[in-house]
Amino acid sequence: MSEPILELRGINKSFGPVHVLHDIDFDVHPGQVTALVGDNGAGKSTLVKCIAGIHPTDSGQVLFNGEEVHIHGPRDAANLGIEVVYQDLALCDNLDIVQNMFLGRERGKLGMLDEADMEQAARTTLTSLSVRTVKSVRTQVASLSGGQRQTVAIAKAVLWNSKVVLLDEPTAALGVAQTRQVLDLVRRLAEQGLGVVLISHNMNDVFEVADRIACLYLGRMAAEVNTKDVTHGQVVELITAGRSGDLGIARPETATI
């Protein structure tokens, strides 16, 4: 297996008296989809926000390409090439696809937006991801379907030469056909060499696209396994009980139910 592009070592995070993440180790490999699973409140979103620089960690180490890095805010994460696509997608309905993809980072010559340049870059990115469902990059985002919006948000994340993309439940609100398109897109991101982290509660999605599965249980990393080595039932047991008798994985030491 390739060396991890992102490594977390012993990450702890508390909100006041509530200790949410306990000594988390977590690896993201380039060219792979790693599913981050766990029950409601297990700490998935908190972990992603720590990686994205939204929450400062209390202790622990982050390595990027083998070098220790200090992520103090979203800009630090973006500079490393770490992008997050949140569930609310943060797209502006009244703007078109190009405007959304470049929002806040508009290209310009002498202070003027270079529209043609941006339009071409948006088109190239969507084409490189084999996105064919969006007819024109000048379509207003308000008129896009849920799947198309998800696609635009993901394309926006990878437009910036990103190396790691974290996706927070990208198929949660989608129907069958749109889920299919988004899962295909998630696979293509990995095929392009990105390290992809997929937060999901949907075991079918996880087993379809993930190479590895990292399971959080009550804020502790219960297991990181290769998808091909485990069954749905074993992963559900890891999620709900933090252990798997079949796999010989015990509940994390100090986790209490």
Ligand X SMILES: Nc1ncnc2c1ncn2[C@@H]1O[C@H](COP(=O)(O)OP(=O)(O)OP(=O)(O)O)[C@@H](O)[C@H]1O
Binding residue count for ligand X, defined by CB under 6 A: 11
Among 32, 45, 150, 244, binds ligand X (CB under 6 A): 45
Nearest to 40 by CA among 247, 201, 179: 201
Q: What is the Rg, in whole angstroms, of the alpha carbon atoms belonging to the chain?
A: 19
What whole-number distance in Å separates Cα of residue 236 and Cα of residue 256? Answer: 18
Task: State yes or no: residue 15 binds ligand X (CB under 6 A).
Answer: yes
Smallest distance, ligand X to C-beta of residue 169, A: 8
Is residue 256 a contact residue for ligand X (CB under 6 A)? Answer: no
Looking at 18, 110, 176, 257, which residue binds ligand X (CB under 6 A)? 18
Give me 146's structure tokens. Answer: 């849920």
Task: For residue 33, list its beta bridge partners.
Answer: 196
22 or 44: whose CB is closer to ligand X? 44
| Choice from 6, 8, 20, 194 touching ligand X (CB under 6 A) | 20
Residue written as token pair 């060396």: 3
Instruction: Report, in Å, the least distance between residue 44 CB and ligand X.
Output: 4
Tokens found for residue 74: 């979203």
Instruction: Check binding of 42 to ligand X (CB under 6 A).
Output: yes
- Please state the separation of Cα 66 from the chain's center in Å: 20
The yes or no reply on residue 88 touching ligand X (CB under 6 A) is no
Point out which span in 36-44, 133-141, 146-154, 178-186 binds ligand X (CB under 6 A). 36-44
Residues 163 and 82 sit within 8 Å (Cβ to Cβ):
yes
- Inter-helix orientation angle 146-158/115-128, to 10°: 110
- Applying CB under 6 A, does 112 fall inside the site for ligand X? no
Contact call for residue 257 and ligand X (CB under 6 A): no
**Closer CB to ligand X, 41 or 175, in the complex:** 41
Binding status of residue 30 toward ligand X by CB under 6 A: no
Regarding 22 and contact with ligand X (CB under 6 A), the answer is no
When asked if residue 200 is in the footprint of ligand X (CB under 6 A), the reply is no
Q: Are 59 and 47 in contact (CB under 8 A)?
A: no
Q: Which positions ≥6 away from 45 have C-beta within 8 Å?
A: 168, 199
Q: Which stretch binds ligand X (CB under 6 A): 12-20, 58-66, 103-111, 243-251?
A: 12-20
Q: Which stretch binds ligand X (CB under 6 A): 41-49, 105-113, 122-130, 189-197?
A: 41-49
How far is 250 from 64, CA to CA, in rounded Å? Answer: 29
User: Crossing angle, helix 176-191 and helix 146-158, to 10 degrees?
Assistant: 10
Residues forming contacts to ligand X in the complex (CB under 6 A) are: 15, 18, 20, 38, 40-46
